[in-house]
Structure 1
Amino acid sequence: MPICEIDPWRTQYFERVPCPPDTLIPTEDSDAWTWNPRHRWVYDKLEVALRQGLDAAPHGVAPHRYPVFSKPLYNLKGMGVGSRTLRSAADYEAAYQPGHMWMALLEGDHISSDVALVDGSPTWWRHARGLASGDGTFDHWEVASSAEPAVETWGANWCRQHLAGYTGMVNLETIGGRIIEVHLRFADQWPDLYGGDPWIEALIELYTHKVWRYDDRDRRLGYSVVLFLPHGPQYRHPPAEMVRGIEQQSGISSVQITFHEGLAPHRHAMPPGGFRVAIVNCWDREAGNAARAALRRHFIATAAA
């Protein structure tokens, strides 16, 4: 599949649109890192922080004030693995790990922004605001229909300065308008909320012909409702007819069951706060919440210790 997707629960967004076999579009950071040697440095989170003038250093250089945020310098699996807030020198000593870094603890909205770049210049933006529920987990993401001027102004200048020569999608994660992570791909969690097949067609044209053409005048506010459950149990996938039934309900766009049933739980990359089992993309958040509750009942009833 030229749109290179390893998560089977997300191929649903790409399988209806033909893509030239020699046009490779990454959805995984490992592919993006491999295919973009000139710009792969963006996966060094310390370098991203320092290029913005943020207070940051690798573990081994102690912070001079607290709190700070600690995380791996590189994490191509995502999901907040190994990240935590350090509130004191004692926290720092206990959390010390080679290959980790700390940076200023930023405040403000946590926003995930997908940007279409042509030679490093933004030509399209879409923003999702995350409502955190603790320890790297999220209750839901609001895929906004509006602009985020603070993110777009800072992010556009940063992209033009540091990503000249790059054409393709980039995902910027920001807190309070400052970049905490950069990914040379888009967020494959909600392409249906961006516009479905017409948006995928524009994506393919960006990588094939280096232009961005997409009529986005009718964009809608959407939601991506996330279901996290406790670590430990072996959860079971719901029956396909149950998933189809949820997807056919009013206000629901799609359902993702976001783990491999045959893979041991500890082999999944998950944040400290929970094990992600499902995502419901929807236009009506109450409908998404009801769908999440139904899925929660299934997972709890069928979990194996």
Structure 2
Amino acid sequence: MHSVFFTPRGLQVPICEIDPWRTQYFASIPCPDTVFIPTEDSDAWNWNPRHRWVYDKLSVALSQGLEAAPHGVEPSDYPRFSKPIYNLKGMGVGSRLIATRDDYIDAYRPGHFWMTLLEGEHVSSDVALVDGEPLWWRHARGHASGEGTFDYWEIQAASAPAIEETCGAWCREHLAGYTGLINLETIGGRIIEVHLRFADQWPDLYGRGWVEAVVRLYADGIWQYDDPARRPGYSVVLFAPHGWRYRHPTADLRQEIVSTPGVSSLQITFHEEVPPGRHAMPPGGFRVAIVNCWDRAAGNAARDRLRRHFEATRAPT
């Protein structure tokens, strides 16, 4: 056993986390050398060949009886929603509403598909599976701010019986043989995306001992985690306008933010040295920071301070 070690992509490590702003959640957790836990969809794809088909969003839609087809097969009516069949980088890249036939013609892209336009709450659910059987759920509700961006996510303490019943049945049918964490994104209780990994944006809000339980699941095939004291948390997101280069806040400002009562952690979610255009970002903005917190007012205040920093230090690309 040893402490989890994080390196750039290409080196084998027990927990693969390539985003340096998220290593803070795992760096002190012991993990066997032989256990590999993905936090990136590209690694989950490589390490789970039997179940990698779930990254085919068209197949996932059809598996639920939703209307869907690749571009080139015209919808019978509108509106519809369009996105890439595969997108392992996430962030809503290439997704859009198709309101009319003219929209469909303009939106045509090889490798994209359209599907039923779903309505309802956008929920991200982490699920612990043993041989396809769900044994633990945690749900986060996204509050959208437009064009693929989110104002904040609410990590709920309560269960979501409708999602757990419907999606649990889907897991038993389609993920038998899989043991590990998955992340399901749903709208109105219907699955829009499946990831063979957990949401590494807010593991600190799941409670003490959760990451250790994840390691045990992958190492021994056993899920043991007692969290009766779970409480709601919030992941407050800061998007800035496209077209600028942004600078990381100083260490003093970062420390001031994380020391604020009610704040759990801070992520600065971009590589300062990498051109902005090389980051996968949604149409509505460039994500610069995430504040995880127990008190949303404290998270909002921290976000406002960070926004002032990024506005004051940005430069044209």
TM-score by length of 2: 0.95
Q: CA deviation at 1:126?
A: 0.1
Q: What is the aligned counterpart of 1:46 among 52, 58, 62?
A: 58
Give a deviation string over 1:187-228, Cα, whole Å, max 9, x none: 0000000014x1010000000000000011010100000000
Q: What is the aligned counterpart of 1:25 among 37, 48, 51?
A: 37
Give a deviation string over 1:59-83, Cα, whole Å, max 9, x none: 0000111110000000000000000
Report the Cα distance in structure 1 between the residues aligned to 2:248 and 2:91, rounded to whole angstroms: 20
Report the Cα distance in structure 1 between the residues aligned to 2:255 and 2:160, rounded to whole angstroms: 34
- Partner in structure 1 of residue 260 of structure 2: 249
Q: CA deviation at 1:244?
A: 1.0
TM-score by length of 1: 0.99
Q: Secondary structure at the match of 1:30?
A: helix
Report the Cα distance in structure 2 between the residues aligned to 1:22 and 1:179, rounded to whole angstroms: 32
Q: CA deviation at 1:150?
A: 1.2
Segments ≥4 residues shifted beyond 6 Å: none
Q: What is the aligned counterpart of 1:293 among 291, 294, 304?
A: 304
- Partner in structure 2 of residue 89 of structure 1: 101
Q: Which amino acid aligns with 1:6?
A: I
Q: Is residue 285 of structure 2 the alignment partner of residue 274 of structure 1?
A: yes
Q: Which amino acid aligns with 1:50?
A: L
Q: CA deviation at 1:247?
A: 0.4
Q: How does 1:152-301 map to 2 (within 5 A)?
A: 152-196=164-208, 198-301=209-312
Over the residues paired in the alignment, what is the CA RMSD in angstroms? 0.5
Q: Is residue 17 of structure 2 the alignment partner of residue 5 of structure 1?
A: yes
Q: Is residue 157 of structure 2 the alignment partner of residue 137 of structure 1?
A: no
Q: Secondary structure at the match of 2:49?
A: coil
Give a deviation string over 1:102-138, Cα, whole Å, max 9, x none: 0000000000000000000000000000000000000
Q: CA deviation at 1:46?
A: 0.1
Q: Structure 1 stretches of 5 or more lacking a match?
A: none
Q: Structure 2 stretches of 5 or more lacking a match?
A: 6-13
Q: Which amino acid aligns with 2:112?
A: H
Report the Cα distance in structure 2 between the residues aligned to 1:18 and 1:244, rounded to whole angstroms: 26
Report the Cα distance in structure 2 between the residues aligned to 1:240 and 1:184, rounded to whole angstroms: 34
Report the Cα distance in structure 1 between the residues aligned to 2:111 and 2:33, rounded to whole angstroms: 37
- Partner in structure 1 of residue 11 of structure 2: none
